[in-house]
Structure 1
Amino acid sequence: MGDLNGFLERCEEVREAAESMSSPLIVNHYDADGIASGALIRRALALRGIQARNWTVKRLSQEEIALLKREKELIFADLGGGQLDLVETLDAKIVIIDHHQTRDSSMLQVNPHLFGYDGGSELSSSGCGYFVFRNPELVQLGVVGAVGDMQFPLHGLNRIMLEEGMKNGIVVASRDLAIFGRMSRPLLWFLQYCTEPFLPGLTGKKANCALFLEELGIPLKEGEEWRRYYQLSHDEKVRLVSGLVAYLYAKGADAQTVESLVGEVYSFPKEQIGTEFSDANEYATVLNACGRHGKPEVGLGVCLKEESALKQSSELLVLHRRQLREAVQFACEAVEDFGVFHFLDARNVIDDTIVGVVAGMLYGSAIKRTKPILAFALNEEKKVKVSGRATRRLVDDGLNLGTVMKKASEGIGAGGGHDIAAGAQLEKGVDEFLLRCGEIIQSQLASSA
Structure 2
Amino acid sequence: MEETAKEAAEIIERHKNDSITLISHMDSDGISAAALLSKALDRLEIQHQTKFVRMLYPEVVEDLEVGNLTIFTDLGSSQLSNLRGKFEGSDTIIADHHEPEETKGWPRLIHLNAHINGFDGAEEISGAGMAYLVAQKLNSQNKDLAALAIVGAIGDIQNAWGKLQGINRRIAQDGIDAGTIGREKDLLLYGRHTQPIFRALENLTDPPIHDVSNSTEGCISMLKDLKIPYKTKNGYRRPIDLEEEEKRRLASELITRAMINVPDELVEYVPGLIIGEVYTLLNEREGSLLRGADEFSTCINSTARHEQPLIGLEVAKGNRDVYYRAMRKLLKYHKRCIAEGMSYIEGEGLKKGPKDKVQYFDATDVVKETFIGTITNLALGHEKSDPYKPIIGLVQRNGTTKVSARCSKLLFLKGINMARAINDAANSVGGEGGGHAVAAGAQIDTEKIPKFIEEFENRLFEEL
TM-score interval, normalised by the smaller of the two chains: 0.7 to 0.9
Aligned-partner Cα distance in 2 for 1:218–1:396: 32
One-letter amino acid of the counterpart of residue 244, structure 1: L
Aligned-partner Cα distance in 2 for 1:435–1:206: 38
Structure 2 stretches lacking a partner, 5+ long: 137-141
One-letter amino acid of the counterpart of residue 313, structure 2: L
Give SS of 1:378's match.
Answer: strand
Equivalent position of 1:40 in the other structure: 36
Q: TM-score when scaled to structure 2?
A: 0.83
- Shifted more, 57-66 versus 176-185: the winner is 57-66
Equivalent position of 2:453 in the other structure: 434
Contact 1:377 1:385 in 2 (8 A): yes
The CA deviation string for residues 200-226 of structure 1, in whole angstroms up to 9 with x for no partner, is 655555455444433433334343343
- Aligned CA distance change for structure 1 residues 259 and 444 (closer, same or farther; 3 Å): closer
Equivalent position of 2:330 in the other structure: 316
Select the residue among 128, 136, 159 that pairs with 2:169: 159
Select the residue among 3, 14, 20 that pairs with 1:20: 14
Contact 1:331 1:344 in 2 (8 A): no
Let me know the Cα RMSD of the aligned residues: 3.0
- Would you say 1:54 and 2:50 are equivalent positions? yes
Shift of 1:172: 2.1
The CA deviation string for residues 104-123 of structure 1, in whole angstroms up to 9 with x for no partner, is 42222101011111111111
Select the residue among 404, 425, 428 that pairs with 2:421: 404
The CA deviation string for residues 382-436 of structure 1, in whole angstroms up to 9 with x for no partner, is 6312223456787788754333323322353222233443221111311221232
Give SS of 2:370's match.
Answer: coil
Aligned-partner Cα distance in 2 for 1:247–1:322: 31
- Aligned CA distance change for structure 1 residues 195 and 168 (closer, same or farther; 3 Å): same
Give SS of 1:386's match.
Answer: strand
Aligned-partner Cα distance in 2 for 1:195–1:392: 10
Select the residue among 165, 182, 187 that pairs with 1:177: 187
Equivalent position of 1:85 in the other structure: 81
Aligned residue runs from structure 1 range 21-170, under 5 A = 21=15, 22-91=18-87, 92-105=90-103, 106=106, 107-134=109-136, 135-152=142-159, 153-170=163-180
Select the residue among 326, 350, 355 that pairs with 1:334: 350
- Aligned CA distance change for structure 1 residues 241 and 380 (closer, same or farther; 3 Å): farther
Equivalent position of 1:268 in the other structure: 281
- Aligned CA distance change for structure 1 residues 89 and 337 (closer, same or farther; 3 Å): closer
One-letter amino acid of the counterpart of residue 11, structure 1: A
Aligned-partner Cα distance in 2 for 1:202–1:116: 41
Give SS of 2:4's match.
Answer: helix
- Shifted more, 319-328 versus 218-227: the winner is 319-328
Aligned-partner Cα distance in 1 for 2:449–2:284: 47
Contact 1:99 1:120 in 2 (8 A): yes
- Would you say 1:213 and 2:226 are equivalent positions? no
Contact 1:327 1:358 in 2 (8 A): yes
- Aligned CA distance change for structure 1 residues 258 and 396 (closer, same or farther; 3 Å): closer
The CA deviation string for residues 41-87 of structure 1, in whole angstroms up to 9 with x for no partner, is 10011111112221111121222212213534311111111111121
Give SS of 1:429's match.
Answer: helix
Contact 1:97 1:128 in 2 (8 A): yes
Contact 2:206 2:409 in 1 (8 A): no
Structure 1 stretches lacking a partner, 5+ long: 1-6
Shift of 1:141: 0.4
Q: TM-score when scaled to structure 1?
A: 0.86
- Shifted more, 307-316 versus 217-226: the winner is 217-226
Aligned-partner Cα distance in 2 for 1:415–1:346: 18
Equivalent position of 1:423 in the other structure: 441
Shift of 1:167: 2.4
Aligned-partner Cα distance in 2 for 1:198–1:330: 21
The CA deviation string for residues 5-38 of structure 1, in whole angstroms up to 9 with x for no partner, is xx11011111111233334221111110011001
- Would you say 1:233 and 2:233 are equivalent positions? no
Contact 2:207 2:410 in 1 (8 A): no
Aligned-partner Cα distance in 2 for 1:240–1:429: 48
Shift of 1:331: 5.1
One-letter amino acid of the counterpart of residue 125, structure 2: L
One-letter amino acid of the counterpart of residue 39, structure 2: R
Shift of 1:145: 0.2
Aligned-partner Cα distance in 1 for 2:190–2:411: 25
- The number of residues matched between the two structures is 436
**Identity percentage of aligned residues:** 29
- Aligned CA distance change for structure 1 residues 351 and 377 (closer, same or farther; 3 Å): farther
- Aligned CA distance change for structure 1 residues 336 and 58 (closer, same or farther; 3 Å): same
- Aligned CA distance change for structure 1 residues 190 and 390 (closer, same or farther; 3 Å): closer
Give SS of 1:96's match.
Answer: strand
